[in-house]
C-alpha cells in the first residue's frame, strides 16, 4: 500500500503485533529481521513500508532507553519548564487518578478569567468517545471496546485531549495504560510526554 495509507482510520493498515511483542510472545529481534528481509527483497513501495515499520521499532527502543535514563518519565515532564504549564484539567499527583474534580478549581496566575476550563466531564467524554468529534470518538470507542488503537489514531486522540481540551497529558497516559492490551510504561510515558510537548520529540 502507498505510504499514506497507514494514516487511514477506515482501513486496517497496521500489523497489530504490539501485544505479542509487549508480552514476550514475539521477539523484537524476530520482528526486526523479518521486516529487514522484506525491505531488502521487495518492490519499492513494500520496501518503503518496511522502512517505516523499522523506524517504529526503533522508537520502541528509544522509549525503553528514555525510561532507563529518566526514571520519572511517566510522572514528570522531561523538560522542567513544562512542570508549571497551565492545564484546564491539571494533574493531581496525590490522587493519581483520572477523575480530579477538585483540581479543576485550581487556578494559575496565568489564568485568563474569560477562559472556559475543561471539566472532569470533558475528560470522561473523551475517555468514552462522546466528544462529538467523529474521528476522536471512533478511536476512543475502539480503545474501550477492543483494547487497541492504531498508532496514528493514538496521536489524533492524544492531540485532541492535550491541544483542544487542554487536559494534562498524564490523564491520557493513565487511561491508555488501563485500557490498552499492549500497555507499556516506557512507550506510554514517551508518547504522552511528546504529546504534551514536554518530551524529546
Q: In whole angstroms, what is the distance from residue 128 CA to residue 121 CA?
A: 11
From the list 50, 19, 6, the residue with the least C-alpha distance to 32 is: 50
Counting other chains too, the contacts that 171-179 makes at CB distance below 8 Å and 24 or more residues apart are 171/89, 171/91, 171/98, 171/123, 173/74, 174/96, 174/97, 174/98, 175/98, 175/127, 176/143, 179/143, 179/144, 179/147
pLDDT in tens, 165-191: 988 888 899 899 989 999 888 988 899
- pLDDT score at 76: 86
Say whether pLDDT at 105 is over 90: no
pLDDT single digits (tens) 30-64: 888 888 887 776 677 777 777 887 888 888 889 99
pLDDT at 119 over 50: yes
Amino acid at each position: 500500500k502507498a505510504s499514506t495509507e497507514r494514516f487511514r482510520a477506515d482501513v486496517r493498515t497496521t500489523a497489530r503485533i504490539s501485544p505479542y511483542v509487549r508480552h514476550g510472545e514475539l521477539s523484537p529481534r524476530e520482528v526486526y529481521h523479518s521486516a529487514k528481509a522484506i525491505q531488502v527483497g521487495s518492490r519499492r513501495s513494500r520496501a518503503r513500508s518496511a522502512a517505516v515499520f523499522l523506524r517504529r521499532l526503533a522508537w520502541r527502543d528509544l522509549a525503553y532507553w528514555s525510561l532507563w535514563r529518566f526514571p520519572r518519565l511517566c510522572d514528570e515532564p522531561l523538560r522542567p519548564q513544562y512542570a508549571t504549564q497551565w492545564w484546564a484539567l491539571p494533574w493531581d499527583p496525590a490522587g493519581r487518578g483520572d477523575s480530579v474534580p477538585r483540581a479543576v478549581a485550581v487556578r494559575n496566575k496565568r489564568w485568563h478569567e474569560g477562559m472556559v476550563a475543561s471539566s472532569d466531564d470533558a475528560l470522561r467524554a473523551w475517555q468514552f468517545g462522546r466528544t462529538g468529534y467523529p474521528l476522536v470518538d471512533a478511536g476512543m470507542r475502539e480503545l474501550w471496546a477492543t483494547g487497541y488503537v492504531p498508532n496514528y489514531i493514538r496521536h489524533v486522540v492524544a492531540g485532541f485531549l492535550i491541544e483542544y481540551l487542554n487536559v494534562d497529558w498524564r490523564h491520557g497516559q493513565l487511561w491508555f495504560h488501563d485500557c490498552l492490551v499492549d500497555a507499556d510504561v516506557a512507550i506510554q510515558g514517551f508518547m504522552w510526554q511528546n504529546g504534551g510537548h514536554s518530551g524529546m520529540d
